């Protein structure tokens, strides 16, 4: 049994309920969004209009919790360590299993995750501090708007990783080869230029540790749909909790472009 299946089995059994950072190395991890069917086509259109923060890699049939193209046994109701439940745009609970909340009209979307390009950075010898420290990546709300689609609109969320200048250049080069998992950064340097008021206070994730001579790089992030859900206020939505991803059987290398 491969590492991704073993991890999903542990998650289903309630033995792993925390972040998936660095787990099942080499396997694609995915963000999750679950919406009622009457919002699904609009969300697919939103992803198509905003491929940097919302790179769509799989969509389920209505009422079907499986995503066979990502793993033959995947069940999105049980295979993530922690979920967020939204009603009318407000987060109302966190769950470790959403089986009792599942409905026949729900559609699941899996979006590419930056954890995939982190594996490529590490393989190239580019250190990633939050992984060294066992923390979640720092994630921020920005002032950057997304392209609306139907009723869906909102601001972009970004993740930040900081590097020495030579490693920052290498990080940009490497991640640009992974457009289906957010690709190259959208910004580097001054966080205020993208509407981040205080880089020391991320809305999600761990605490930053930016040292002398290092530059912050900002990638479009798959938490963006959660900000969009808050803005657009669909009656019901389920997402992953930041850092608590769907670990798939697909390999990161499948998503690398030459």
Q: Express each pLDDT in 146-158 by its tens digit.
A: 999 999 999 999 9
pLDDT at 240: 97
Round to whole Å and give the CA distance between 165 and 210: 12
The structure tokens listed for 108 are 């699941």
pLDDT of 202 strictly over 90: yes
Confidence of residue 1 (pLDDT cuts 50, 70, 90): low
Q: Name, in order, each residue with C-beta under 8 angstroms of 193's C-beta and a sequence gap of 6 or more.
A: 187
pLDDT of 176 strictly over 90: yes
Please indicate whether residue 206 or residue 33 has the higher confidence score (pLDDT).
Answer: 33
State the fold for domain 117-220.
PSTPO5379-like fold (3.30.2040)
Confidence of residue 115 (pLDDT cuts 50, 70, 90): confident
pLDDT at 119: 86
pLDDT at 218: 98
pTM: 0.94
Domain edges within the chain:
3-114+233-253, 117-220
**What average pLDDT does range 182-202 have in this prediction?**
96
201 burial type by CB count under 10 A (0-12 exposed, 13-18 middle, 19+ buried): exposed
Q: What CA–CA distances, in Å, run from 69 to 45, 74, 176?
A: 20, 9, 24
pLDDT at 231: 97
% of the chain surpassing 70 pLDDT: 99
Three-state DSSP at 245 gives coil
pLDDT at 134: 83
Q: In which order are the strands placed within the sheet that holds 155-164?
A: 138-145, 155-164, 214-220, 187-188
pLDDT at 178: 93
The yes-or-no answer to whether 3-114+233-253 and 117-220 have a common fold is no
Confidence of residue 96 (pLDDT cuts 50, 70, 90): very high
pLDDT at 234: 98
Q: What CA–CA distances, in Å, run from 144 to 53, 139, 200, 239?
A: 11, 14, 19, 21
Confidence of residue 135 (pLDDT cuts 50, 70, 90): confident
Architecture of domain 3-114+233-253: 3-Layer(aba) Sandwich (3.40)
pLDDT at 205: 76
- What rounded mean pLDDT belongs to the chain? 95
Confidence of residue 36 (pLDDT cuts 50, 70, 90): very high
pLDDT at 210: 96
Bridging pattern class, strands 155-164 and 106-112: unpaired
pLDDT at 207: 87
């Amino acid at each position: 049994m491969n590492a991704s299946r073993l991890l999903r089995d542990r998650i289903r059994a309630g033995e792993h309920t925390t972040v998936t950072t660095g787990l099942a190395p080499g396997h694609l991890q995915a963000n999750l969004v679950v919406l009622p069917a009457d919002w699904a086509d609009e969300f697919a259109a939103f992803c198509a209009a905003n491929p940097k923060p919302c790179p769509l890699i799989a969509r389920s049939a209505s009422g079907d919790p499986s995503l066979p193209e990502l793993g033959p046994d995947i069940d999105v109701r049980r295979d993530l360590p922690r979920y967020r439940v939204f009603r009318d745009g407000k987060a109302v609970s966190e769950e470790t299993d959403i089986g009792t909340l599942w409905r026949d009209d729900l559609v699941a979307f899996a979006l590419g995750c930056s954890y995939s390009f982190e594996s490529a950075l590490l393989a190239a010898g580019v250190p990633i501090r939050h992984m060294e420290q066992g923390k979640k990546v720092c994630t921020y709300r920005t002032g950057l708007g997304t392209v609306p689609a139907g009723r869906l609109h909102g601001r972009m969320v970004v993740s930040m990783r900081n590097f020495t200048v030579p490693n920052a250049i290498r990080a940009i080069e490497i991640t640009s080869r992974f457009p289906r998992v957010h690709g190259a950064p959208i910004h580097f340097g001054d966080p205020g230029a993208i509407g981040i008021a205080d880089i020391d206070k991320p809305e999600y994730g761990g605490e930053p540790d930016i040292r002398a001579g290092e530059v912050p790089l900002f990638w479009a992030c798959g938490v963006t749909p959660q900000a969009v859900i808050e803005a657009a206020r669909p009656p019901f939505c389920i997402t992953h909790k930041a850092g608590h991803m769907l670990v798939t059987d697909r390999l990161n290398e499948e998503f690398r472009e030459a």
